[in-house]
Amino acid sequence: MRDICNEDFDSFFLRVNRLLEMEEEVFQGEDTDFEMGFSIQIPRDFSRMEKEEAENVFWSKNRPPVLFARAGRNEGITFQILSGAGDREPEDWGRRAKELLNQGDRRTVFYGDGNEGKTYWMEYKSFAARERIYNILFLFQVGKDMIMGTFYCLFQDYQIWRSRILQMLHTIRTEENTDEGI
């Protein structure tokens, strides 16, 4: 067994401080409305990205129209409407998304899925450049539309964010259901 040195303690101390800071107020005080038929409370320290900023993070021209990120852009949240939802349930869309993610990169590792109210979610690890990325993809119905949201962060930070993002899903409000979360 290796002895603990001062540098190890400093690293540990900084990480614990970061975790404790995150335990404070997690969400912004107000619901954020995207004029997509729903509102949600976004974790504090996230701000909406302008088009130019988004192009630096998401190189595809098919990037989601709503993007939020923290200052270093290592954590982000996206939202988009999936057209042609029809009668398909969020879980059906989730299975299809999993198939497409697997086809795109066979290294993708899926961990689990579940429901938070009427919102379906799944978590997985993907790869970008030299980094491993933790992702939560979530889906919920708004009228006849299906909304897909994603959260991403560096894989090493997933323990900090996982429970907070799942809490965020409970703050989703739709026009049909403003009194209780989806």
76-82 and 145-154: which strand pairing? antiparallel
What confidence category does residue 124 fall into, taking pLDDT thresholds of 50, 70 and 90? very high
**Nearest Cα to Cα of residue 115 among 139, 92, 134, 95:** 139
pLDDT at 23 over 50: no
* Average pLDDT score, the chain: 81
Question: What pLDDT does 26 receive?
Answer: 61
pLDDT at 49 over 50: yes
Q: What is the mean pLDDT of residues 34-61?
A: 79
Cα dihedral across residues 25, 113, 149, 40: positive or negative:
negative
Query: Model pTM?
Result: 0.78
Cβ 132 vs Cβ 154: under 8 Å: yes
From CA 90, how far away is CA 95, in angstroms rounded?
Answer: 9
More confident residue, 30 or 173: 173
In CATH terms, the fold of domain 26-174 is Protein Transport Mog1p; Chain A (3.40.1000)
Query: What residue ranges do the domains of the chain occupy?
Result: 26-174
Question: What pLDDT does 10 receive?
Answer: 62
Question: What pLDDT does 5 receive?
Answer: 59
Tokens representing 88?
Answer: 């398909």
pLDDT in tens, 136-151: 999 999 888 899 999 9
Q: What is the mean pLDDT of residues 84-105?
A: 84
The pairs formed by 67-72 with CB atoms below 8 angstroms and a separation of 24 or more are: 68/42, 70/45, 70/46, 71/45
